[in-house]
Every structure is written in structure tokens, then in C-alpha cells.
Structure 1
């Protein structure tokens, strides 16, 4: 600042140099009393300084409040909610991810914000403006709905959840006091409907309400460690695509498909169609939310003859025993017939290959109802199956097990089970006879429980040979996949009517298969709900024309992904010579051929 007097400038000198001043040393200046104008100038300067300080303090307060509202409130939890109305988000641990067996994410969280209001802090004029303006930002909100929520004096009101950044900014720009942003998390499902019935879904509060999300809600809410499932997303995609194509092609109303490891009972793929988007479960129909693979309880028809044949082997019946299938069986008011009658006596392998209801019924009566019931219970078919999903059906079992029940159950009528029951039981029959509970969690073979022995290894080998016979020369020919040595069984059952009886024009078809059947590693199941006869099926809608080729395609898709090496060999070395001869497998030129019984 330039003062009223001039001063003499002191010359610059490096350290150690002497400074000499020329001229006379100025004498002290005389002092004088400040006049009135000088006092006024100093007073004005003081007032300006005080005013500047006040303005600076005011701007600091305003800036701090803006930072609190725009930054802290948008990224932190609203502090106006009471514990009973909305628990602080910091008190909740983030929900853990759900991943497939290879670590691919099936369910995870995305950070988001919810719009909440404290109407105690909203002036009446702004309250009316909020009711009028917010519907223009959120068309799903109505002024009437907001008027019901924005009641003066309420401390905490949810207005809308999961705002996008653009929506959050738009609300912020309104400048309405009392509107706050609560930090939240939104559950998302990268695989979408592909795993809908496995993973399930959460509600608006991120709490599990279906599938794994429901069954493991406490575990997912209290741990950050991902929950690893047995599902292989690659196989899940293949099963979903194959089943979807089959439903479209055969004009079915729905279906299910499963792939299981026969040695661990791990479910590697599980699809139920129709399905839904997990993030929109509230918009899904009841039919779409229904899990046909685990909750649906069905009479499965002739596919159940696998258990009846296993029962005969378990009871010690020789493979060469024959049973009269020349004419229908009449018992009480029922008549048991064959779809394609052979009209002659059939051996045990032939009964399975030709899917004879008559032969199956006679075979069951030789064993007896008591032993049949005990065997099926040992196979886990009469009780709810232990599984990690809450959506598991209970078998429908006869209250009294009479001769007629034993006969109809032998070919898959009169006993209703879930597809999960079926694939778990068949896995035990073909893996050497050990029953493992099915699981949706990845299993460590080193710590896996030993399982329950329910069938002998010798009988398991015999049954596998007969299942191969079905694919070579029976109704399962359309499931044969070159190089993978498939063995299985078809099933076609008239659907039950709600009021009792059976629909003559509606069927449930299925095909279950193990591969390679000489040394099974995996088992697949395909079920179609009410397929139609279409071009190429010659008027037929039974399993051999729809579920069977779908299962074959599924095996062709998943076998390479599972690392199963294609082979071209005869059954020699896998089935002993006696079984090959008795079952009807013929070794010819190094290839396995069917020795047709006429």
C-alpha cells in the first residue's frame, strides 16, 4: 500500500558486503494528530473488514450444508429413519454373491439409492410441490399415492427405490427440503432367467423369497464369502436351450431338464420352463414361478419300469425268467394293456425293452406288494427328498398298498414323485448301487459322505445292460449318440385330471439316460408337458418321438463340456458274457448290435 510519505530504499547487498549510505541521515519526522477525514477512512476500512468476515463465515456455513446434503446424504444412509422404521444400512452386511461351480457370478449386488422423505422438514408449500412434480419424474408414482404417503409429521417415508443417477440428480435439482437419499443395494442376476428356478429371487428389501436366495437367506446375509453351487452355467445354458427348442417344436406347455453327476448326486443343470426374470419375479405368472423339476409331482409312466426291473433283480429273479404278456390283465374294474403288444411271453430284459405294462405288472405280483413298497422306500421314492431348495414336492403315495396298486405302480401309475426323485433314484441304480442325497452345492469328493448302499453292483451292471438294450432296439433309439454309449428308458403317462381320472388327449413324456452306460458318469432327464404330434412324428406324441431325441441332443451338447471322451467299442469287457447273452446285446465286428427278440 502506498502511504502518504516517501521512504528511502535500502540497497541490496550479498552477505559480508558493507553498505554505505550517501547523503544525510534523515531526521525524525514530526508527528501530528490525525484529522477527521483520516479517522473516517480508518473506520470505513474496519467496517469493510468485519463485513467481509461475516460474509466469509456465512458462505462457509452454506458450503458445508451443501456438501452435507449433496454428497454425504446421497452416499450415506438417511439419518431421519428410526430403528423400527428403517434399520441403518451400515448395520446390515452386504449380501454375498452366488456363483456356479466354476466361479461365474449368478447373483450379486449393485449399489443404488432410495428416495425417502421426512415430512417434518418439508414446508407445506414444498410438500404440495413434491406431490405435483415427482410424478413427472417417476410416471409409476401418482399424485394420489404421494398424497397418501406425504402426510405432514411423518419422520420416514419411502417414496421410490433404486433410483438411477439421472433420477437422483433430477430430484436433487428440485431443491425440496426433507427429501433424502438412502444408500441401498440392488440384487442383480447376470444369467437372468437361465437360472431362475435355481437361484430364485429377493424382495424389495433384498431378502430371499425363492430358490437358493430363500433357502440360504441367513447365510447370504451374514457372510461376504460367495456361495458356490454345483450348477455348471455352460451345462445350464445347453439344457435351457435344448428344452426350450423341444417345447417350441413339439408345442408343449412346459417341461423340465436335469443333469446329475451319478457319483456325487450334484445337480449340474436344472431347468424348468416356463421361467421368469428373477429381478421381475413379482410380474411372473404362477405357472412361470412353479418349479417343475423339484416341486411338480407326477405319475411318470413307463420310465418307472427301471425301478420295477431293479426290484425284480433285487428279489433274485433270473434274467431268463419269462412272464405271459399274450393278453391284457383284467383286475376289478381295470384292464392293463400294452401300447405295442408283443402277444407272447417276455423275459425281464424284453419287458423293459418293449415297455410292456402287462409283463411289468406280472413281474411285480411275483415279487409282491410288501417287497415292492419296501424297495421303493429304500430308493427314497416315498418320502420328501432332502434338497437345498424350499420348493420341493411331497410324493403322493397310496394309503393302502394292495395288489392293484403294486401292478399299476410297476408301470408308473398310482405313485407320483418329482423329477428330482426319479433322477436321484436312477443315479443310485446305475452307479453301482449307492444312493446319495441330491445337492445344489459344489461337493468336495474328499469330504463327501459315503452314501447308502441300496443295490448290488452286479445288479447295477445288469440293469445298465438292459437300459442300453432300450436304446439299441427299443423306444429309446432316438437318444443314441454315436460315441457316448447311451442307455435309458422312455416314459409316456396320461396326465391326471384335477377332478380325478386321466386326460385321454394330454400326456407327460420323459426320457432318462445314463452315459456312458458301460461306466456311467452322468445321468440326464428330459420331461415334456403335453407335447403334440407334429410333422415327422407320424401322429405319435409318445416319449420316443419327443423327449427321447431331446435327451439325445442334450447328451451330445454336454458330454464334450464334461470331458467325456467318445468311444467306439462293444460292450465286451464292461458286461460279462452271460449278461450280454441273457440281455440280448450281441457283439459283432467290434460293434454292439441288438439281437432282436421276435
Structure 2
């Protein structure tokens, strides 16, 4: 009985043990299954995240990847001429950057980069690569060939980003007008700087300078005329072996600058020499004694005073001595001269006597009224301030009457002459389009209409019978005034070192344009020849007018003789 009970108990225990083991197996299997499911879910989540990120990065534009967003160069509006021709525009360029934290061997990187970029600064680049920073620039504005060669090096931690760079299709053609941008596409000179100062810099700083929202900036410049002007002054620089040359074409009715060039200049696409002192924009940023071109204003002043007429005469028989200075004529006639003769013979003595009629205070007041003594107001930032004696004395008035002792810019001289040609209205020059109505709304009358008519007559007379004969262009009735100024060398005027200018207007029956040329320190065209303005600056003006008149809308007239008639007292 006892054995039977023990046997039954043994079977019961075995059955119970089997149930316990089976339950344990089921419990363990459930937990394992849950772990597997959880693990698979985590892995699927990780891979889904990675896949999504790769897809996102793959869809990004090139200029939105690599480097911080603050490094993106801002867009600039196109600059176009008055006819819509592009003068400046943005193009995409590639720049090289590094992530120093990912650089394993800085020496290897520099060694390999030097094979493609031999001009790279090794010491500076090494410091950048060892800085541990997240982002550093290595080289801005690479060529496509350089990018391709660097990519083949297979360097980890090295990348490229697309930036914007300013491109000037005309190269140096309008360099001094357009100006420059820096490496970050910000305007630093010329009209580029003017555009930034008008609000573009603020838009760029706030990230709102989006290319699609920026309208082109239209200038008053005519690219065709600009090309001609730059070409002619460059030829003059070589032909007369001068240190500089320049010219400007100005609309006398609106004050618009149609063209302006100064050489030597620079290529804004590669402005390595832009800051050289010899590459100064002499037309607006240089001040000079303008020589006998100033006699235009002396004669206009005398006529406008009402004390002098075209029939007035001045004694030029003998030189004028004042203090230690003796005033002589270059080609003196040794007799009494009429006002037209004073002008066409460019008499220093006659001009001095014209100034004496007005007086010292009246003389300075007139030059200030016509804008020759104040800093010119225009869009171009590079504008110099004229110089004058601190205290005007009689000797200053006399010498300034024929262009010595006061310095102003060539552009200002052209602007003042425009007022003498357009009926007497002085208007600030502009490099932006402007209508005649808008110009007259802000213009100031500085001489009366009769004075303007008389000056037109004298300009035409001088071109036909005086020193401006070489500026004649058949069919266009050009008038003008020469200016040959001796330059100061070691504190004294040197007779063989000159600054020459020719100030012209056309067509003289109703002047539309003023053209001023300068040639700085010209040499004689041939041995034994003089190097006066009539022989070098005047032909530059003639060539500009001959080539550009049709573009300016001036039609030639050959159907009638229209020589200026000399006033009665001239005989």
C-alpha cells in the first residue's frame, strides 16, 4: 500500500514538474519574441531616419549645403547701360572650405592642395587646418578646372560651396564708373558702392537680397559711346607718351554723363592694381589747374557782369607786373585786343584785365556760383574737393583768371561749361537716367541767356579761327577752348611739363553735348613739335565726336556755310 502510494506520488510530482517546465518555457519564449520585435523596430527606425536624411540632403541645392548659412554671398542687381546692355552681373563661382575637425593629416592636405593651388599660403592654411574649428575658408572663387583637380585628390574634410561673384563683361571699359565689389560681393567703389549705400547693404545684412527680387540698375552711360571714349584716351596715352589721359561726354540739357574714362585704369574682373595711385580716376577724383579752359569762365564772368560786351577792348600791349610776378602772353600780339581776340588768342593779359573789371570778391563769387570751388554733388563716391587760396588777393585773382592758382576736377569743368552752353543753367551731373524736365526742376541759373549766347559764339569762333582748329569735325559744328597748363615741379612751374585739356561743345547752333579731354604730361608727337593742347587734347575730342555723334543722335549738316562772324571790333 505504501509502495503504491509512493508510486502515485512520484507520477504526480513528475506531472507537476512537467507543467512547471512547460510554463517556464512559454514565459521565456514570449519575452524573447518581444525583444526580437523591439530590436527589429529600433533598427528599422534607425535605417528609416538615415534613409530620410540622405534623401533630404540629396534634394538640397549645392549652395544650400556645406558650411554655415551665414557664409552665403549676397546677390546684387545687374547694372545696365541706358539701352539695357549689361555692364555688371552676378555669376556663380566655387570656393574651397575645410572642416578641421575631420582633417586627419594637415600636412598631407596642404601638400596635395599645393599641387593644384601653388599660390596657397602654406603657413596660414596649416594654422586653419589645425584650429579644430567646424568650418574655415581655404580659397575663394576657384576656376572649374581647379575644382575638378581638387576633387580628384580625394581629401576628407574638404568641400566646395557655390558663391556669387561679380562679373563685368566689358572688362576695363567702364571700370572707374562701375567700381568694384569685395570678395563677399559688397560694393566698395564706384556705382557699386553707391548702390549699396542706397539700401542694398541693409537688404544683404538682413538676408532679403534675393536675386529674383532685385531689379537691374540702369545708368545714363551709353556703352557704345563709353567704348569709344575709353579707346580714344587709351590711344592718346600711347601716342603722346603721357602719364595719363581721360575724357567725359556730358548732356548739357539733362546733366547726364554719357561716357567717362580715365587711363591708366584696371580690369574689375581682376583688380589687382586698382588701388595703384597711377590708376586714379582723374576725371572726378583728381584736381588740376585746368589752364586756359578756365578762361571760358573768366570771359563769361566779365560778360555776365554787364560791364563788358563782345565789343569791349583790353590793353594787352605790355605784360602785367604784380609783386614778384609778371604776366605775359604765350603768343602776344602786343596791342589792344577785343573780347573775341582775348579768347581766341588765349591772352593771359586780357583775361587778367577781364577779372580786374569784376574785382576779387566778384571773381570768387562767380566761380563758386558756377560750381568750380565746391565738392561736386553726384552719385559717384570718388569725387575730390577743389582747392583755392585761403585768402584771395589781387595776384590770386589775376593768375586764376587764366587757370593757375586754383585746382578743380575735369568733370566739374565740363559741368560748368555745360551751364555756359545750355542757356545758363547749372545742374549736378548724374550717372543715372534723367529727363530734361527733372534736370530743370533742380537746376540753378548761374549766367543769363545773353551770356550763354555770347559764349557759344566765342567757342565756335575759337574752333574756326583760334587754337581749337584740330577739334573740327565736318558737319557737326564743334566749338571749344584749349588749355595748356604748366605743372608745378619742386615748387615751381615747369615749362616742359604740362597738363593739357580741351573743352568742347557741339553742335554749336544748339549745343547738346559737352566733351572734355585731358592729356597729362604729353610728349611731342614728333621731334621739334610743341606738345600743346591744340595738338593732342583737341584731336582726342574730334575723334570722340566723329565716332560717337551718330550714337548720340546728332545728325551731321553739310548743306550750309555757318562760320562765326567776327564782332566789328575784331577788325
TM-score, normalised with respect to structure 1: 0.82
Match of 1:362 among 353, 356, 365: 353
Which residue of structure 2 aligns with residue 135 of structure 1?
A: 114
CA contact (8 A) 2:242 2:521 kept: yes
The aligned counterpart of 2:399 is: 408
1:269 shift after superposition: 0.5
Query: 2:567 maps to what in 1?
Result: 582
CA deviations over 1:387-436 (Å, ceiling 9, x no partner): 11111111111111111111111100011000011000000011000111
| Residue 322 (structure 2) pairs with residue 296 (structure 1) | no
Residue 471 of structure 2 corresponds to residue 490 of structure 1: no
Take 1:457 and 1:495, find their aligned partners in 2: how far apart are those partners? 35
Q: The residue matched to 1:546 in structure 2 has which SS?
A: helix
C-alpha change, 1:158 and 1:228, in structure 2 (3 Å) is: same
Aligned partners of 2:298, 2:446: CA distance in 1, in Å? 14
How far has the Cα of 1:467 moved from its partner?
0.9
Unaligned runs of 5+ in 1: 1-49, 585-596
**Aligned pairs (5 A) from 1:328-339:** 328-339=319-330
| Alignment deviations for residues 438-467 of structure 1 (CA, whole Å, 9 cap, x no partner) | 011111345443410111111111111011
SS of 2:482's partner is: strand
Say if 1:231 and 1:268, in contact at 8 Å, map to a contact too: yes
Map of 1:456 onto structure 2 = 448
**What is the CA-CA distance between 1:528 and the residue it aligns to?**
0.1
Residues 1:100 and 2:59 aligned together: no
Count the aligned residue pairs. Answer: 519
RMSD: 2.7
Query: Partner residue of 2:550?
Result: 560
C-alpha distance after superposition, 1:220-267 (max 9, x if no partner): 454611111111110011111111112211111111100000011101
| Aligned-partner SS, 1:245 | helix
Residue 510 in 1 paired to residue 510 in 2? no
In structure 2, which of residues 317, 339, 343 is the aligned counterpart of residue 352 of structure 1?
343
Deviation at 1:58, TM superposition (A): 7.6
Q: 1:252 to 1:87 in 2, by over 3 A?
A: same
- In the TM superposition, what whole-angstrom CA distance separates every residue of 1:473-512 from its partner, at most 9, and x where no partner exists? 1000111111111110000000123x42222321011101
Structure 1: how far apart are the matches of 2:356 and 2:122?
Answer: 72
Question: Which position in structure 1 is the counterpart of 2:92?
Answer: 111
Say which SS state the counterpart of residue 280 (structure 1) adopts.
Answer: coil
User: Match of 1:546?
Assistant: 536
Write the distance in 1 (CA, Å) between the matches of 2:116 and 2:269.
22
Are 1:76 and 2:64 matched, yes or no?
yes
Task: Check the 8 A contact 2:375/2:383 in 1, yes or no.
Answer: yes
Q: 1:180 aligns with which of 159, 184, 187?
A: 159
User: For the Cα contact (< 8 Å) 1:197–1:289, is it kept in 2?
Assistant: no
Determine if the alignment matches structure 1 residue 473 to structure 2 residue 494: no
Structure 1 residue 178: Cα displacement: 2.4
* Conservation of the 8 A alpha-carbon contact between 2:99 and 2:133: yes
Q: Which residue matches 2:417?
A: 426
Structure 2 match to 1:149: 128
Distance 1:486 1:398, change over 3 A: same
CA distance in 2, matches of 1:570, 1:166: 63
SS of aligned partner of 2:567: helix
Contact 1:135/1:142 (<8 A) preserved = no
Which segments of 5 or more consecutive residues in structure 2 lack a partner in the other structure? 1-38, 204-208
Match of 1:87 in 2: 70
Q: CA deviation at 1:177?
A: 3.1
Give secondary structure in 2 for the equivalent of 1:216: helix
Q: Report the 3-state secondary structure (helix = DSSP H, G, I; strand = E; otherwise coil) of the residue aligned with 2:549.
A: helix
**Which protein has the bigger helix share?**
2
- Secondary structure of the residue aligned to 2:294 is helix
Q: How does 1:20-99 map to 2 (within 5 A)?
A: 65=54, 68=57, 72=60, 74-79=62-67, 81=68, 87-89=70-72, 93-99=74-80
Do residues 213 (structure 1) and 192 (structure 2) align? yes
* Inter-partner Cα distance in structure 1 for 2:383 and 2:65: 39
* Shift in Å, 1:73: 7.6
How much does 1:62 deviate?
A: 8.5
